[in-house]
């Protein structure tokens, strides 16, 4: 009895996890409008630019990362 339960958990668990992950991924893709995708991409690129600017300021001996943030628009 115990071994059959363990076999069911060992085999059924990953299968159930895979089904749930596929469902969530497909569901997430379906509900995003082109406008939401554009905003997400824009925000990601903005974040990368900001982080790159902070890294360069830190690399060239700026006093603090806050110095690199001056003059940027705030969200």
The tens digit of pLDDT for each residue in 15-66 reads 999 999 999 988 877 777 889 889 999 999 999 999 999 999 998 876 555 5
What pLDDT does residue 29 have? Answer: 75
Q: What is the pTM of this model?
A: 0.46
* 3 has a pLDDT exceeding 90: no
Question: DSSP letters of 10-75?
Answer: HHHHHHHHHHHHHHHHHHHHHT--HHHHHHHHHHHHHHHHHHHHHHHHHHTT-S-HHHHHTTSPP-
CB-side exposure of 7: number of CA atoms within 13 Å?
A: 4
């Amino acid at each position: 009895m115990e071994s059959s339960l363990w076999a069911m958990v060992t085999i059924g668990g990953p299968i159930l996890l895979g089904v749930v992950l596929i469902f969530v991924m497909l569901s997430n893709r379906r509900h995003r409008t082109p406008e939401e995708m554009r905003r997400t991409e824009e925000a990601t690129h903005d974040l990368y630019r900001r982080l790159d600017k902070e890294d360069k300021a830190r690399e060239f001996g700026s006093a603090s990362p806050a110095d690199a943030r001056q003059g940027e628009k705030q969200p």
